[in-house]
Amino acid sequence: MSKLKTRFISYTDRSFKKKFNDLRFDDKKFNSAISTTVTKIIREIVKNGDDGLNHFVSKFDKINVKKIRELFISKDVLKRAYDGLKKEQKQALNIAADRIKKFHKHQVPKNFNYKDSLNVNLGLTHSPLDSAGFYVPGGKAIYPSSVLMNAIPALVAGVERRTLVSPVSDLDKSSIVLAAAHVAKVTDFIRIGGAHAVAALAYGTKTILPVDKIVGPGNAYVAEAKKQVFGKVGIDSIAGPSEVLILCDESANPDHVAIDLLSQAEHDELAQSILITTSKEIANKVILSVEKFLMEISRSKIASSSWYDFGAIILVENLDQAIELINIKAPEHLQLILKNAQKVVEEIKNAGAIFVGPYTPEAMGDYIAGPNHVLPTNGTAKFSSGLGVIDFYKRTTIVNFNKNSLNKLGKYVITLAEAEGLDAHARSVSIRIGK
């Protein structure tokens, strides 16, 4: 075993349950002081609009402007950024965008209308939101992929006004992000980030129009801001740090597993990478491979912090135990590197996205596979799903009774309304059917 402090747990340990729960609920990921700070920021934006926003842009984004309008990046600038890319970068963006668009077109919901046995016309229609805001992080790295993943589903849904915010301080260094915004056809690109960006999108200012829904991941302040503005606007989810869980057996290549673990760890110091395996030999080899790669990758400091603080290797006796743990953990990303991976897929109830087989690293999903990479984190895959076209639609039901159908069903409404003590409800029916 390695001398480094990789967390290694066995299913047979007496204290396994506690150790596993510690992985699920690590309080290092949470800071109650963030809530207070975010509340103050939102109140300032609501009270002082552009002036309050400008204060936070200068303080947190390190961008100094006289007017908020100067933070808008024109479509001409976005186009020039795209034109200035290397040929292979353009090709990669376009292929990714095309695959994302094609996958999400399959999600477009269908309206329906039918007449039941009593001649009641019933239907369901889907209408796109009027506007949406996309948050794209820009602190520790640049994320053109997140631009595509957030904006394209809204484009496919038919959302008319699509506003992207990202703390882009250096336009040259972020040229591929601007280019991605051009490819994704955003209507507005604003150089702001953090909780103040979320507040501006939710409440609007003199310069920035409010949106109907805010989507996209961010840091703890962004997540808290989305939580606090929910109700004023819609949100996709309250995203936590990125996470991957890999299940492998003795057939796995330890180097492949190790670098896949670190591909999540390099996102953020709070990211979480977990390996569950039936092979102790593989577990030991993975630890050695992780150490090797940590000395080679450019974001080694971030990845090391993530791995040693939040990562873990879990040894199980069989796949049934592994599947049980996966469904409890409900990981954002699940990789299955197994001999019979497809059979295990059928047993997984809780996961944001599943990557099947040795030739499907999670990174393919991050960039180019087609499905969305904005996924439920921190166990929320038990009750929520990744971002999709449906997130940019509203559902409206349609009900149409005629006189005969009202006569046939109205008496039951009267009975139920009277039982609830809602006399006006009952009379709104009885006055029409003469009872």
Provide DSSP, 364-399.
HHHHTSSS-S----TTGGGT-----GGGGEEEEEEE
Residue 112 φ then ψ, to 5°:
-145, 155
Distance between CA atoms of residues 120 and 123, nearest Å: 10
Residue bearing tokens 């805001």: 133
Distance between CA atoms of residues 327 and 331, nearest Å: 8
pLDDT value of residue 30: 56
Nearest Cα to Cα of residue 135 among 181, 197, 183: 197
| pTM given for the model | 0.93
Across the strands, what pairs with 128? 393
Strands (E), 136-229: 161-165, 188-190, 213-215
CA 44 → CA 33, 64, 149, 380, distances in Å?
Answer: 17, 18, 31, 31
On the question of a common fold for 8-30+240-382 and 32-237, the answer reads yes
For the chain, the domains span 8-30+240-382, 32-237, 401-433
Residue 164 φ then ψ, to 5°:
-110, 135
Query: Which CATH number does 32-237 carry?
Result: 3.40.50.1980
Q: Cβ-count burial of 262 within 10 angstroms (0-12 exposed, 13-18 middle, 19+ buried)?
A: buried
Torsion sign over Cα 347, 348, 349, 355: negative
266: tokens are: 């390099």
Q: Which residues have a catalytic role annotated?
A: 332-333
pLDDT value of residue 131: 98
Across the strands, what pairs with 124? 112, 397
Correct CATH for 8-30+240-382 of 3.40.50.1980, 3.30.465.10, 3.30.300.90, 1.20.1110.10: 3.40.50.1980
pLDDT tens digits in sequence order for the chain, 435 residues long: 344 589 999 999 999 999 998 887 554 445 789 999 999 999 999 999 999 999 999 999 899 999 999 999 999 999 999 999 999 999 999 999 999 999 999 999 999 999 999 999 999 999 999 999 999 998 667 899 999 999 999 999 999 999 999 998 888 889 999 999 999 999 999 999 999 999 999 999 999 999 999 999 888 899 999 999 999 999 999 888 899 999 999 999 999 999 999 999 998 898 999 999 999 999 999 999 999 999 999 999 999 999 999 999 999 999 999 999 999 999 999 999 999 899 999 999 999 999 999 999 999 999 999 999 999 999 999 999 999 999 999 999 999 999 999 999 999 999 999 999 999 999 999 999 987
Q: Around Cβ 365, how many Cβ atoms within 10 Å?
A: 23
Work out the angle at residue 354's Cα, subtended by the Cα atoms of residues 252 and 378, and round it to the nearest 5 degrees.
Answer: 110
Distance between CA atoms of residues 74 and 308, nearest Å: 43
Across the strands, what pairs with 398? 123
pLDDT value of residue 268: 87
Distance between CA atoms of residues 100 and 374, nearest Å: 12
pLDDT value of residue 1: 38
pLDDT value of residue 2: 44
Query: Which CATH number does 401-433 carry?
Result: 1.20.5.1300
Largest CA distance in the chain: 85
